[in-house]
Structure 1
Amino acid sequence: MVATLVATSFAVFASVYLAPGDPASFLLQGRSASPAALAAIRAQYHLDDPFLVQYVKWVGGAVTGDFGRSVQFRQDVAGLILARLPTTLSLVAYAGLLILLAGLALGALAALRPGPVDRIVLLGTGVATATPSFVAAIGLISLFSVQLGWLPAFGNGSGFGDRIAHLTMPAVALALTFAGLLARVTRSSMLEELAREHVEVARSRGVRERDVVRRHVLRNAMGPISTVTGTVLAGLLVSTSIVETAFGLSGVGQLLVSSVTVKDFPVVQAVSLLVVLAFVLANLLVDVLHPIVDPRLRRSAS
């Protein structure tokens, strides 16, 4: 895990460092400046330090939570991220809940109801997985905000109820693709378990169908489901930038987009590193929980 973070931090820093554009030019905002003034700006943000010196300073600061100062906002990067983190975490939690509820329910429904229901679910989840989040955002805004006027289209909202209303369409747009993916994985995993011999034996012994599904199918199908769920929840953080920008949410994703536009390197580096850290932690959590949710792994370990 440590080696992955070190290698990733180096790749993130190097990619931003080598990107075209000069942050000092943004600070001037088109105004002309003397060489002395330009040199002072570059010295203030350590832009003239050698690459390895900048990297070591950045990593040392990141370990203590100091990511430097934003070129765009003239504030500490850590403070900027912390101020916007609640919005992003709320959006991810809302979307994650929708993904789990819709994905598991539709996948189980398709596996247990072969025929027309299965085909309808497959068609719907296929459309969902193929729909980009920005297309879903445009469609949701057009229908539920512009035409019907049911939900607000932009902003974070104030108060619990208003925030939920403002986050509903962004959460749906963010969850759509991942819910379709989880539904398909759930369906495939459950169909595989339904075809196993021990399920037929349980049925032949007169065990009720719902008990067969709960004890023998769902429990054994949770291994692949938990694996893809961890990956999906981590991937949500990457997709938030598009959705937050589309709905005008002041979250970390929107901060990343605006920072890339103006070459605000400290913010881009910090947010990119945090996204990678979220991926690593999510995969670590899946590795820890996998033997717990999959009884076959527990039996093999014992």
Structure 2
Amino acid sequence: MIGFLARRLLELAGTLAVASFLVFGAVYLAPGRPETFLLGGRGASPQLLAAIRSQYHLDDPFLVQYGRWLGDVLTGRFGESVQYRSSVLGLVGSRLPTTVTLIGMSLVLVLVFGIALGWLGAVRGGAADSGVLVGTSLALGTPSFVAGVVMQSYLAIRLHWFPDQGSGTGFADLLYHLVLPSIALSLYWIGMLARVTRTAMLDVLGQEHVTVARGRGVPERQVLRRHVFRNALGPIVTTAGLIVTGLVISTVLVEAVFTLNGVGAFLEKSVTVKDFPVVQAVALLIVAVFVLVNLVVDLLYPFIDPRVALGAREGDA
């Protein structure tokens, strides 16, 4: 256990190091320069442009800029935002609660409805299964931002059941403002998890140990819970891990649709104005979430299936 964690933490550090270089390099090579935003599109003399580049160290060589930025990251600083002239860490931190709450609400919807629909389709069959397949096909074919625009137009603007934009004030008001965004964000992933749950449970339902349990008179509810669903948890948990990272990425579009004061909308705006320090910090944060979620899934596997040793999924067992 300790050896596995030590190895995975080293892998995490290596992945983040490579990702930091790639993220910084991609932003560095992107078209457009932040000094253009600082000037507001106005013309400037070469002397003024040189002064701005010097002030923000934009004229330093690539490796020098990367080394300075990496040193700031390792010491808990992520530089200063070009557009706000303020600490990137503070700006991202102030928007993080909205995004975390949105992802949390969406994840609850995905897990509850995705697993319930998959279970229903696998166990009931017939018309129920057909309904699940049709419903999940519609969900998988509807991008999050499209679902957001439709719900915003009809449920918020036309019927006035929910706020159409903004994050509200206070936690209770934030939850109210996030109802539509969380539904829009979760629809696609509900369809995906329902399909995976249905397929995994159907595979287990046909196995011999399920037939034996039923032949011994074990109640059907207990058969489904202990012998079918538990043995189908492997692909379900793996997919749930992928869904968490997918939700993190999808928040960018959904937050933009509902003008939420979250990290996703902040990233979208920062890309538009070439606010490189913000883009680099948020991109690195997303990579860290990817790696950590994968680590959590690996740690859960031995509890789901005791036959699987830690690290076996990577070919060690």
TM-score scaled by length of structure 1: 0.96
Q: Does 1:31 align with 2:42?
A: yes
| Aligned residue number for residue 88 of structure 2 | 77
1:233 deviates by: 0.7
| Contact 1:227–1:290, Cα closer than 8 Å, also in 2 | no
Equivalent position amino acid for 1:253 in 2: G
Q: 2:299 aligns with which of 288, 291, 296?
A: 288
| Contact 1:84–1:252, Cα closer than 8 Å, also in 2 | yes
| Aligned residue number for residue 274 of structure 1 | 285
Q: Does 1:92 align with 2:125?
A: no
| Contact 1:21–1:263, Cα closer than 8 Å, also in 2 | yes
| Aligned residue number for residue 50 of structure 1 | 61
1:161 deviates by: 2.7
| Aligned residue number for residue 160 of structure 1 | 171
Q: Does 1:9 align with 2:20?
A: yes
Equivalent position amino acid for 2:134 in 1: L
Number of aligned residues = 301
Q: Does 1:135 align with 2:146?
A: yes
Q: What do residues 186-225 of structure 1 show as CA deviations (whole Å, max 9, x unaligned)?
A: 0111111111000000000111000101110111111111
1:6 deviates by: 1.3
| Aligned residue number for residue 171 of structure 1 | 182
1:146 deviates by: 2.1
CA distance in 2, matches of 1:159, 1:26: 33
CA distance in 1, matches of 2:307, 2:152: 45
Q: What do residues 124-181 of structure 1 show as CA deviations (whole Å, max 9, x unaligned)?
A: 0111011111110011112211222111110001233321110000000100111110
Q: 1:64 aligns with which of 58, 62, 75?
A: 75
CA distance in 1, matches of 2:305, 2:72: 40
| Aligned residue number for residue 112 of structure 1 | 123
Equivalent position amino acid for 1:170 in 2: P
| Aligned residue number for residue 213 of structure 1 | 224
Identity %: 56
CA distance in 1, matches of 2:184, 2:57: 40
Structure 2 unmatched ranges of 5 or more: 1-11
Equivalent position amino acid for 2:16 in 1: L
CA distance in 2, matches of 1:252, 1:165: 19
| Aligned residue number for residue 191 of structure 1 | 202
DSSP 3-state at the match of 2:301: helix
Deviates more, 1:168-177 or 1:54-63: 54-63
| Aligned residue number for residue 51 of structure 2 | 40
DSSP 3-state at the match of 2:32: coil
1:295/1:118 CA distance change after superposition, 3 Å: farther
The two structures, once aligned, show a CA RMSD in angstroms of 1.5
| Contact 1:242–1:253, Cα closer than 8 Å, also in 2 | yes
CA distance in 2, matches of 1:63, 1:39: 29
TM-score scaled by length of structure 2: 0.92
Equivalent position amino acid for 2:280 in 1: Q
